[in-house]
Structure 1
């Protein structure tokens, strides 16, 4: 089953966008369209199945070993080439939520082979080192996703090429915006869950009504938190007690719009103005009267949770 999947991927045919001159991004199409005819007839097994170059600080493309196995009955000479695909830019002009229609550009990686030809006898395995260099074009602050294919084509008539898709991100992934700062993440209040209004600055909350907190994520995070902070001291009092429990959990990015054709958000009901002092707390506690800030935080890196690893978004100032 593993070999079948590998063969289907390696013999797939990359497609192009309408009026495109390069293959569509690997981020969009993966290996391409399955080509059953080539998958049945191919005489080559290639590995790895794909190459993940990661982002700039963790760039993994300095030396990649590609293996080709000739499973046919004749000696084959392979020609190794690089096929760049379109790059994708979803952050341009300071937007903090991915563009619904990204810019398609031609920011291509440079690829160097230790050998551009490889002759392999039947049943034998050949190896070649591939060295990638990030695109010289494209702005790291816009986080372009570049991609393409390493192609091994048997020489002679009718040779079936095999491809390895690759992709990388130019820039620091941990700096990709998490919160949609242009969306008014909010604390809202009201008697009707379908008709809540944002609280005003310093408003005293009455939990006899529904109090909801919400934020909008443009990227995934290993932990989204909603916390209560003392306004005067800046001390975190605890994690909000919500209708789904303690307000600290992994979260995916929000979609562009929800089923009501409104901006999609993560929204939760804050129960009784109570908080959990720690993530490990079993029960929530009441909070002394005073002035507070409701804060949303999203973890940028999958580390031990140092404060610097979180993007912080203040939702509202309230009085309890």
Structure 2
């Protein structure tokens, strides 16, 4: 019997006086349910069983009374967690997650499952339960390759006839080619976000003697566990202490105090503190300092460097105060009201946190947070890019906590709308293969515009456009393919066949037209190999020639039309400096249709659209290693670069490492583009022949299918903390993920070798250097010129 995995998850619905849990057992034996309850009673924990289930998995939902909640300020789940840790019927658990069991919504023709992927094999379980549509509000993380395990697994589900709808992610501010897994999957529907007409923003309203001075929008950070809406609280900015400069001229006290990284000396008890983001510590550390000083909240604003609009406190569970960020320059503007030379009495300033509905100026445009593509190989083996479709991302959620109401935004909110659209389509037209359902949606999606209102948004951002489910249901014309990838200049595909089918019972006239969209450049290679936070729009339109642009189709007739594409010219402003940022261009093939209802009489129907895109430039030429930013380099444990000492009139001193004593060599790298392979060779120069010899390969780090880095703090660079062990077989030492690398290292230390691991050996004492090589996009690992390489400084191994 295949053992079931356990998942203990905190339900989203928390009712007053109790907390509900869902438990899954180690095996599928129903007797485990009774044994589990007996075990809890033996440990003096009385729960109420809400319901049990064993069709898809063996488990139950229980409710813990408030009488048994711990009296400490720790998590309410602590009491159960300590008991369950030793429970023989439970394999593992994750407190604080969402409920994972597929919630089945059944209609006469379609079944829809909303699932959380915290449980391994959950997709297979949903498939076994007869699901037709699987919704995964799962996105984010780092960029990925289509070969990622989760992306492949979900694509395989789609091949079994199940529609898989996934969130594209909310990393739109991390720039081009950021699509994560599983959205990068070949046959899944990836959902991006369009701004809604209205939203519920949160404001800090500042008044002086009942006269409003200004309103400043803020956002609560993820992980903040209390609200400050509709409250009046005293407000205080951090002031500057007298400057104390070090011998190197660094103003430590000024720097630490401005950002709140050190102990806060001024009186902030019972007040909300305004502090600057950035500096020498994380925002979570700042929140801890404010909390320790008695502050009741922290409001962060940006400094000279561009910082994230939203920060996370997930790694700081001890922070209990609300933490929020101000948008743009609002922090600096707010500080103006507290200037010492102001003619206003600061004690008469009043602050109120409010929230109200307001119209969104960017309604109908791409949400700034929505992640965008394309994939690294821009659809070499498939007509594929991401996003596939868009929908509005603001979802009203009722009865979340204590019967309250709230709104949430993100591609995770847009995704269930699309899943619902798919279920409606299947209910109205009957079940069909995923490719047919996707074609219905994409053929009738509505293209959207950039903020200028004059250019259609880039295909890399909007995909096929905004879904129009009514038009998809009522469709009587289909166009294949439903999206087209022309690839980059070297792999350019100039010709395709467009097939138009009239499925109605009347004759129709069709006219074809080309609608170009905004081109976008995603890099500035003079600054970094990592993409810009937001792309730069350009006017660069390719041309399209149809073999026939007007024709008539009788009922149930179809016709194939040849379509010839021509790449645009590189704009002059991008043709001055080398290397040039590749330019993503594209457009829509518009299929206008009119029904013939009588002699010389026609009725215009809504047009269909087929999106296409290509890349002007070669993906092969994209730099992988961010050498412009000084990467890679060998540094110390804190990330500071190590420089050889050549300041004296003596031979250069090189760093040395005694790995037998537990010392480590710290290698830091930053990738501007993803790579399928990273190779780190340990090289020794033969004293006699002065020739290089590869001694081994640094292993046990993520070195296969490696994502690119970003401009945010969490994924700015990668680090390898090498213990002096090398593998002799490079191919056998590859790790396709961080988790795989850790598992291999653990197996190595415990001597648990398997077919997926390989033994490593300690390098002998001597003088060496590292050579880090990254395989270029479209590169062949067997060709030396397809690798981008870097050599480290020399170092010594002693011991």
Alignment TM-score, normalising by the size of structure 1: 0.89
Alignment check: 8 A CA contact 1:42 1:160 kept: no
- How far, CA to CA, are the matches of 2:522 and 2:691 in structure 1? 38
Q: Counterpart of 2:627 in 1: which secondary structure?
A: coil
* Equivalent residue pairs, number: 308
Residues 205-251 of structure 1 show CA distances to partners (whole Å, capped at 9, x for unaligned) of 23323432221111111111222222553332221134x4xx74220
**More displaced, 16-25 or 207-216?**
207-216
Q: 1:92 to 1:197 in 2, by over 3 A?
A: closer
- How far, CA to CA, are the matches of 2:584 and 2:790 in structure 1? 26
Q: 1:101 to 1:316 in 2, by over 3 A?
A: farther
1:315 Cα offset (Å): 4.0
Q: Does 1:189 align with 2:636?
A: yes
- How far, CA to CA, are the matches of 1:221 and 1:56 in structure 2? 20
| Residue of 148, 154, 161 corresponding to 2:587 | 148
Q: Does 1:35 align with 2:468?
A: yes
Residue ranges of structure 2 left out of the alignment (5+ in a row): 1-433, 595-601, 645-653, 734-757
Aligned to 2:643: 200
Q: 1:2 to 1:241 in 2, by over 3 A?
A: closer
Aligned to 1:224: 678
Mapping for residues 1-320 of structure 1, pairs under 5 Å:
1-61=434-494, 63-92=495-524, 94=526, 95-138=528-571, 141-155=580-594, 156-183=602-629, 184-190=631-637, 195-201=638-644, 202-207=654-659, 208-231=662-685, 233-242=691-700, 244=701, 248-259=703-714, 264-271=716-723, 273-279=724-730, 280=732, 282-300=758-776, 301-320=778-797
Residues 173-232 of structure 1 show CA distances to partners (whole Å, capped at 9, x for unaligned) of 101111111233222334xxxx35433333112332343222111111111122222255
Q: 1:92 to 1:265 in 2, by over 3 A?
A: closer
- How far, CA to CA, are the matches of 1:136 and 1:196 in structure 2? 43
Which protein has the larger Cα radius of gyration, Structure 1 or Structure 2? 2
**More displaced, 175-184 or 225-234?**
225-234
- How far, CA to CA, are the matches of 1:173 and 1:163 in structure 2? 27
Q: 1:154 to 1:214 in 2, by over 3 A?
A: same
1:265 Cα offset (Å): 1.4
1:20 Cα offset (Å): 4.0
Alignment check: 8 A CA contact 2:589 2:610 kept: yes
Q: Counterpart of 1:264 in 2: which secondary structure?
A: coil
Q: Counterpart of 2:470 in 1: which secondary structure?
A: helix
- How far, CA to CA, are the matches of 2:483 and 2:621 in structure 1? 25
Q: Counterpart of 1:5 in 2: which secondary structure?
A: helix
- How far, CA to CA, are the matches of 1:205 and 1:58 in structure 2? 47
Cα root mean square deviation, aligned: 2.0
- How far, CA to CA, are the matches of 1:227 and 1:237 in structure 2? 7
Residue ranges of structure 1 left out of the alignment (5+ in a row): none
Q: 1:196 to 1:56 in 2, by over 3 A?
A: closer
Alignment TM-score, normalising by the size of structure 2: 0.37
